[in-house]
Amino acid sequence: MCGIVGYIGGRDATPIIYNGLKRLEYRGYDSAGIAVLQNEQIEVRREAGKLSALGNLLQKSPIEGSLGIGHTRWATHGAPSARNAHPHVGRTGRVVVVQNGIVENFLELRDELSAEGVEFKSDTDTETIVHLVEHYLASGLNLVEAARKTFQHIQGANVVVLMSADEPDKIVTARIGNAGGVVIGFGEEEMFVASDVPAILEHTRRVVFLESRQMAVVTRNGASVETLEGSRVQPEVHVVAWDPVAAEKGAYRHFMQKEIHEQVRALTDTLAGRVDFERGKIRLPDLNLTPELAKRIDKIYITACGTAAYAGMVGKTLIEKIARVPAEVVIGSEFRYSDPIIDERTAVLAISQSGETADTLAAMEEGRRKGAVVWSIVNAIGSQAMRIADGSISMQTGPEIGVASTKAFTAPLVDQYMLAILLADLRGVLDEKTRHALVSDLRLIPDLAGRTLEREADVEKLAYALKDIKGCLYLGRGINMPIAYEGALKLKEISYIHAEGYPAGEMKHGPIALIDEEMPVLCLAPKDPWHEKMISQIQQAKARGGMVAAVATDGDELVASMADHVLWVPEAPWMLSPIITVLPLQLLAYHIAAIRGLDVDQPRNLAKSVTVE
């Protein structure tokens, strides 16, 4: 997860930025850099690896000045290296930029800028931003207007921070979509910009949080905030509690709410360093998947517990559809008692946020005992599920504090999609065009997620309507059937309301007897291959007097004409739709529990990691 720190004031910028980046280290990164204005020149120091490597470089080659920006980077485009580390400087050497997120249209931008004679010095999408700013400066615009034009031109979910040696009285920053936060800190004749509160908490408690599609001009005496379109904004100044836990929540009431919104950045980060958009290739080096092994595997067991198991159910569809390898989901607590049929051609894929869930670890051991190759998708670095596997994929979402799993549900959906593409590619069952299309779709995810989360107010309205219900049915089909299970689990575990996820097609074989005006039904009805089936499901529920709320794709008037409530989501490629359809359900469970005044982050009877059988 990338970190950003900027400073403008009267003190030496380097230690303030460096120490701020250290407080963001928990988020994970693979390179770091800092740019400071020294004697009217922009000096940059960048190093691959840990922050200490940058610290050593700064010892050997210090920079002094009172205006600067720094960055810790998870590689998304271009390998982790000093060359690809941020900050990135343009041709003139007078402008420097750092970014969190993915510039979705960077390929087109690179072509446009290369045609103007720009020679790119890195493989990153971020470098296109600084060259675009210089392009607009060259047309006669000042820094703020050149930055605004640039922010309007790039597409995707991004946080951008930039400065210029020619206008050393300001830092310009913007939040485009929801790729993580921009915090502006107010000091005494000094100002701070950061991607998260902990980076600047030792200097100030007075902060402003930028909203999506807002930009700010930060001088040493304050900040002016506008929309990207130029309308002035008067943001609320928050006073952050000194206590780091409260600070960690930032502007959110609960960690769960923060982590739901963090998914744009978490989804960007789980892609980090693994997708070569230009060649349409996936890189999962820690999985240790060789062509020989990929060709040998003829069965995959996916094993996990709770929410992670529902992520595995989506993964089953992805692996079978893309890699054409039979996949079966067996929950951790059943796996080792089910005498699974395993040999050296079997893979066991475990999914676990904590990496310490006893049932899941036991399933891995059973797979190993029977000769399977054992993989894991894990969030907690260094956990057992990561250590004992033959190969693993780190979710890279940063710590998940809320007991109810959110970003550690959506990240493994992306990780399994990438695994399926890599497996198919190595098995030679994926033609070049299809592979490129599947890889290219990954670029859409952060922005689609951000646009969905921006609709939180609509979900909150439905939460008020449902806050006193006694039960709820969640129905889905195909790749979105596991989202019905996951949505029901979210509601159960934090609001204590009974909810049941059920295959929509199965309702007529009994459970439809449950439906009446007291039993609301939540239908997953996005534009996917099962959409028509879900339409008839909504009709069946309505015919029995049920109140129906539907998750539907923007513009789906047919669903709108039938359902009592619609939670709209943007259109997404169907294999990635579960990443988007689950978001309103996470928010719905969250708001119902919050309205009911329950302990959202630590629900009764639950632990974040179930390390016992």
Q: Which residues are catalytic?
A: 2, 608
Instruction: With beta carbons less than 8 A apart as the criterion, state whether 15 and 80 touch.
Output: no
Q: Which two tokens stand for residue 461?
A: 């309205």
Q: Which residue has the CB atom at the shortest distance from ligand AGP?
A: 306
Size of the site for ligand AGP (CB under 6 A): 15
- Count other C-beta atoms under 10 Å from residue 251's C-beta: 17
3-state SS class at 87 = coil
Tell me the window of 241-249, 290-298, 353-361, 433-441 that interacts with ligand AGP (CB under 6 A): 353-361
Go through the chain and tell me how many residues it has.
Answer: 613
User: Position 196: which residue type?
Assistant: D
State in angstroms the smallest separation of the CB of 375 from ligand AGP: 15
Query: Considering the rule CB under 6 A, would residue 333 count as an interface residue with ligand AGP?
Result: no
For the chain, the 3-state helix, strand and coil shares in percent, each to the nearest 5, are 40, 25, 35
Q: Does 602 bind ligand AGP (CB under 6 A)?
A: no
Give the binding range for ligand AGP (CB under 6 A) out of 6-14, 350-358, 507-515, 564-572.
350-358
Closer Cβ to ligand AGP, 366 or 493, answer by number: 493
**Shortest spacing between CB 379 and ligand AGP, in angstroms:** 8
Residue closer to ligand AGP, measured from CB, 164 or 405:
405
Question: According to CB under 6 A, which one of 122, 158, 354, 384 is a site residue for ligand AGP?
Answer: 354
CB 301 to ligand AGP: min, Å: 16
Q: CA 591 to CA 417: how far, in whole Å?
A: 30
Closest to ligand AGP by CB, 5 vs 472, is 472
Distances (CA, A) of 332 to 308, 357, 363, 413, 482: 10, 9, 6, 18, 16
| 493-512 binders of ligand AGP (CB under 6 A) | 493
- List the x/- string, 381-410, binding to ligand AGP by CB under 6 A: ----------------------xxx-----
Residue 609 near ligand AGP by CB under 6 A: yes
Name the residue nearer to ligand AGP (CB basis): 194 or 349: 349
Provide, rounded to whole angstroms, the least separation between the CB of residue 293 and ligand AGP. Answer: 25
Smallest distance from ligand AGP to CB 606, Å? 6
Nearer to ligand AGP, 308 or 479 (CB): 308
Residue placing its CB nearer to ligand AGP in the complex, 260 or 550: 260
Question: Taking each helix axis from N to C terminus, what angle separates 407-427 and 432-441, rounded to the nearest 10 degrees?
Answer: 170
The single-letter code of the amino acid at 120 is F
Instruction: Tell which residue, 114, 124, 103, 113, has the closest CA to residue 46.
Output: 124
| DSSP letter string, 95-119 | EEEEEEEEETTHHHHHHHHHHTT--
- Contact indicator for 274, 417 with CB cutoff of 8 Å: no
Kind plus residue range of the DSSP H or E element containing 160: strand 156-164
Answer for which of 38, 263, 268, 357 binds ligand AGP (CB under 6 A) is 357
Q: Which residue has the tokens 């060709």?
A: 295
Residues 10-69 contacting ligand AGP, CB under 6 A = none
Q: Which is nearer to ligand AGP, 440 or 496 (CB)?
A: 496
- What character string, x for contact with ligand AGP (CB under 6 A) and - otherwise, covers 283-312? ----------------------xxxx----
For residue 87, say if its preceding peptide bond is cis, omega within 30 degrees of 0: yes
C-alpha span between 509 and 506 (Å, rounded) = 5
107 near ligand AGP (CB under 6 A): no
| List 164, 178, 195, 360, residue binding ligand AGP (CB under 6 A) | 360
Rounded to a whole number of angstroms, the minimum distance from the CB of residue 610 to ligand AGP is 5
Give min distance, CB of 357 to ligand AGP, in A: 3
352 contributes a contact to ligand AGP by CB under 6 A: yes
Residue 295 dihedral angles phi and psi, to the nearest 5°: -75, -25
For residue 151, the minimal CB distance to ligand AGP (Å) is: 36
Tokens representing residue 85 in the block: 């580390």
What residue has token string 């446009």?
A: 112
Cα torsion at 311, 576, 422, 259 (round to 10°)? Answer: -50
Determine which helix (DSSP H) or strand (DSSP E) holds 192, and give its type and residue range.
strand 191-194
Q: If DSSP codes are grouped into helix, strand and coil, which group holds residue 526?
A: coil
Nearer to ligand AGP, 162 or 377 (CB): 377
Q: Kindly give, in sequence order, each residue whose CB lies less than 8 Å from that of residue 495, ignoring residues fewer than 6 positions away.
A: 589, 592, 593, 596, 598
Of positions 31, 66, 155, 353, contacts ligand AGP by CB under 6 A: 353
Q: Report, in Å, the least distance between residue 266 CB and ligand AGP.
A: 14
Strands 565-569 and 95-103: unpaired
Our CB check for ligand AGP shows the closer of 440 and 609 to be 609
- Give the Cα separation of 315 and 328 in Å (integer): 10
Q: Which residues bind ligand AGP (CB under 6 A)?
A: 305-308, 352-354, 357, 360, 403-405, 493, 609-610
